[in-house]
Amino acid sequence: MFKKIIVTMLFLVLSLVLFACDKISNTETLITTGLTESSLETTTTLDACKALHVSYVYDELDYRLVFADEFENPSGIPSILKWKYQTGDGGWGNDELQYYTDGLNSTVVDGSLVISARKESLGDSQYTSSRMNSVKSFLYGKFEIRAMLPQGSGTWPAIWMMPEKSMYGSWPNSGEIDIMEHIGVDMNKVHFSIHTEKYYFKINTQKTFVSIIPSVSTEYHIYGIEWLPDKIIFFVDDVIKWIYSPTNYVDCPSSAEWPFDKPFYLILNLAIGGWGGTPYASFIEEQMKVDYVRVYQANNLFP
């Protein structure tokens, strides 16, 4: 019996020694890599934050043209290799009045895309127009769209972007980027906005900026963004108007503030009604003209 007690005690002592050695070894490993248990936990938390710890040098970004439409198709029809139509009516969630047709309201004339909104009945709508989505989607880059906008109450042209896939959930969780919106009831005021799970217009928390741009309906202007892994820069005619950076609002952004790390596609459309107001009494037709769409990306922006 005494021998069994001695053997048991020796086994316990040996186990304690091995456990202590293993603990020291693990601690040494953490120290060797520059981490302690507490710092490892902190690092894991930081890595979960979006739009942080990005590794690019802004002044060294090498942008190259990756997509362009100069709208010079002699057939007068926008390229089906570059654009597809989203069709139908029903208000589009914004009390809009138009029926979006399958190309009947989009033509190429004298080197420009012309999207025409007309007063004519189709389906349950008294107006028709066009909504064009780019076939290709993009992640980050510079986007430049040279356009001349319609005028008058009732018009609501927009140049914007939506996610290729709703990776973070249905709208607004997966994001929306409004490169340009203009409402005819408030001429020459251009709106730049983003919508996310935390920031969107239906709860009046959207992040947005408004700028006066003279002669939007009589002159072409370049509306664009520079979309980076940690911010989106909005500009008109190469002049920066607004920068959305999620870290200006929270220390550790999640997809609720920054869902903009997935591919998005471009949208060109001219809505009637809704935010644009009631169409003016003599409304027959208004047009949004787009001289070109150009997208640039930098290979050295990606890991």
Domain assignments of the chain as residue spans, ordered by start: 2-46, 56-301
pLDDT at residue 301 in the model: 85
Q: How far is CA 203 from CA 87, 94, 197, 218, in A?
A: 27, 14, 10, 34
pLDDT at residue 47 in the model: 55
pLDDT at residue 22 in the model: 46
* Comparison of pLDDT for 2 and 29, the residue scoring more: 2
State the residue for tokens 């356009």. 147
Annotated catalytic residues are: 176, 181
Amino acid at 227: W
For residues 203 and 245, give the distance between their C-alpha atoms in angstroms, rounded to a whole number.
Answer: 20
Amino acid at 55: S
For residues 194 and 158, give the distance between their C-alpha atoms in angstroms, rounded to a whole number.
Answer: 13
DSSP 274: G
pLDDT digits (tens, 9 = 90+) for 145-154: 999 999 999 9
CATH no. of 56-301: 2.60.120.200
pLDDT at residue 53 in the model: 86
